[in-house]
Chain A
Amino acid sequence: MKPSFLSLFNRAGAWVLLMFLVLPALIAIPVSLTPKRFLSMPKGEFSLRHFEKLFTSENWLSSFGQSAVIASSTSFLATALGTLCAIGLWRISSKYSEVVRAFLLLPLIIPQIISAMAFYRLWIPMGLLDSYSGLIIAHTILAAPMVLITVSASLANFDPKLEQASRNLGASNWTTMRRVILPSVRPGVMAGALFAFILSWDEIVVTLFISKFKVYTLPRRMWNGIRENTDPTVAAAAVVLIAITIIAFVVSALISRRRTQPDHT
């Protein structure tokens, strides 16, 4: 097809749309540099005082810490669960395992407000409300399907004959798992761990419901800051979050590049 006027127009439109998607989020960067005490664009002069406040304030730092603890534990648990699940479903691979898989993916698509309500209701009698373990379990349930997807995608490219060969050569079930299957799905596992981390790090709706005073994660603190709508420290926090997202994204891009490279060479 020769590039017509229409397709050029379409492509230009696509870039405008992409800018619309990305740029607004970056507005936090200049705002966070404002020298004023309220949300505003810096005019002529910049200051880092809001970042200074962010990194010296006890509250913000403890929120950062709590989020990091929760997100790492979630990532670890969800990765373990999701990987085992994916390998199990792949090994069994029957009609029922597809049904199970669809069922397991539900938490990804069910509106979060409904999950939040369910967790809230369940956690009250179990005494998990407003505790680390409560949040970690809830986030793990939400994040595990993500790992399931990435690991399943890796497994789809894995040749089942390799497993049979390993068994044939006398390796035990466990050795096969550890030395053959796991190394070959490692990119999927790592990507899944990363996604689980981001998911938990950002999670707000469920967190709002099941945490109150003791556990106060970063998104929760930002949420309050947004609703009160005056403090540019939130903008500084937003910049830090964007930076983390981009770093995580670059890391995952590097992982997936390593995954696809053998195909090219």
Chain B
Amino acid sequence: MNILWLSVSDPEPGLGNYANLFESEALPRIIWTTVRICIITTLLSVSLGYCLAYAMVHAYRKEQNMMLTFLLVSFWISILVRTFSWLMLLGRKGLVNEWLDAIGIISEPIAFMRNELGVLIGMVHYMVPYAVLPLLVNMQTLDQRVMSASRNLGATGAQTFFRIYLPMTKPGIVASVLLVFILSLGFYVTPAVLGGGKVLMVAEYISVQLLITLKWGIAAMLAALMLFGVLVMLWVMNRFMKLSTVFGGATS
């Protein structure tokens, strides 16, 4: 990975590429799109993931194993397959539109694809398992007796949840937020397919610059920015949860 730093300074010496960032019009827009989509994806996936992890921790042993199986199966199904499925579901003549039409809710197909909505659906679908795993690891280590103690001392269920449970799961939440954010930042496949060229995110822009217009400088600059952001976030995450723990949950 060190070589990346080389490719940052190599294409054109100096900071010309970075100045480009502020001068050109397209670049800030692409970065803004990327960040916005990543933030929405992260919020949605982590809140959904939180509910799921909460339900899993409190389910009976057998049900919990079943849930975990489902989660991991969806985790391991190829990203291409999943994106392709959404393509079939969400297209103009896709299944969702056909069904809605058949029921009579809509008269005209809704545009799910080639816009941010499609990209968001695809990305959230991909990210939820990643959001759940760190949360699950974190929640499983909590001492249930603390919650009982809180109830014993007269707190209501909601109070216990918000004042005791939520703060105690904070490391899990932070780890999960950062993990999902980092992964969605560099996400290539789903935005490229479901965005259909209309929603341009940084990863796709980099690949266009490299493979089609051959502008190594700009691509390297964007990659460096992304890498820098990722490393900072990793550093923050490392203070809350070890990286290997997060993935350890994924593989066991």
Interface of A toward B, CB cutoff 8 Å: 1, 4, 6-7, 10-11, 13-15, 17-18, 20-22, 24-28, 31, 39, 41, 101-102, 105-118, 120-122, 146, 149-150, 152-153, 191, 195, 198, 201-202, 204-205, 208-209, 219, 222-223, 226-227, 229, 234-235, 238, 241-242, 245-246, 248-249, 253, 256
Beyond contacts A10-B58, A27-B89: 19 other A-B pairs, Cβ-Cβ < 8 A, are A1-B147, A6-B157, A21-B74, A25-B74, A25-B81, A27-B85, A27-B88, A27-B95, A28-B81, A41-B95, A41-B98, A114-B4, A117-B206, A118-B4, A204-B79, A205-B188, A209-B211, A219-B78, A245-B73
The CA-CA distance from A235 to B95 in the complex, in Å, is 15
19 A-B contacts (beta carbon < 8 Å) = A10-B55, A18-B52, A24-B86, A31-B88, A105-B244, A105-B247, A111-B182, A111-B226, A114-B223, A114-B227, A115-B1, A146-B247, A149-B251, A150-B251, A153-B248, A226-B87, A234-B84, A245-B73, A249-B72
User: Residues of B within 8 Å of A, CB-based: how many?
Assistant: 72
The CA-CA distance from A120 to B1 in the complex, in Å, is 12
Main secondary structure of the interface of A (DSSP, over half): helix
Q: What 1/0 flags go to B114-145 for Cβ under 8 Å of A? A: 00000000000100110000000000000000
Q: A21-B129, A105-B244, A204-B79 are in contact. Are A7 and B58 (CB under 8 A)?
A: yes
**B210–A205 CB distance below 8 A:** no
Q: A153-B251, A205-B188, A248-B76 are in contact. Are A17 and B88 (CB under 8 A)?
A: no
**B81–A249 CB distance below 8 A:** no
Interface centre among B52, B179, B183 (most CB of A within 10 A): B52
Residues of A within 8 A of B3 (CB): 118, 121-122
Residues of B within 8 A of A101 (CB): 244
Contact of A120 among B80, B157, B210, B238 (CB under 8 A): B210
Contact of B128 among A21, A26, A201 (CB under 8 A): A21
CB-CB nearest 8 A-B residue pairs: A111-B186, A14-B55, A21-B74, A113-B203, A238-B81, A202-B78, A18-B70, A27-B85
**A113–B87 CB distance below 8 A:** no
Q: B39 within 8 Å of A by Cβ?
A: no
Q: B243 within 8 Å of A by Cβ?
A: yes
The CA-CA distance from A246 to B69 in the complex, in Å, is 11
Residues of A within 8 A of B1 (CB): 106-107, 110, 115, 118
**B85–A24 CB distance below 8 A:** yes
**A17–B48 CB distance below 8 A:** yes
CB distance from A113 to the nearest CB of B (A): 4
The CA-CA distance from A219 to B59 in the complex, in Å, is 37
The CA-CA distance from A181 to B73 in the complex, in Å, is 31
Q: B30 within 8 Å of A by Cβ?
A: no
In the complex, the chain A residue whose C-beta lies closest to that of B227 is A114
The CA-CA distance from A152 to B252 in the complex, in Å, is 12
CB distance from A147 to the nearest CB of B (A): 10
Interface centre among A11, A17, A24, A112 (most CB of B within 10 A): A24
**A17–B230 CB distance below 8 A:** no
Residues of B within 8 A of A116 (CB): 207
* CB neighbors of A among B45-87 (8 A): 48, 51-52, 54-56, 58-59, 63, 67, 69-74, 76-87
Contact of B71 among A21, A102, A150, A205 (CB under 8 A): A21
CB distance from A132 to the nearest CB of B (A): 21
The CA-CA distance from A25 to B128 in the complex, in Å, is 14
In the complex, the chain A residue whose C-beta lies closest to that of B56 is A14
**A238–B84 CB distance below 8 A:** yes
CB distance from A14 to the nearest CB of B (A): 3
Residues of B within 8 A of A106 (CB): 1
Residues of B within 8 A of A28 (CB): 81, 84-85, 88
CB distance from A48 to the nearest CB of B (A): 19
CB distance from B148 to the nearest CB of A (A): 8
Q: What 1/0 flags go to B82-104 for Cβ under 8 Å of A? A: 11111111000001001000000
**A25–B82 CB distance below 8 A:** yes
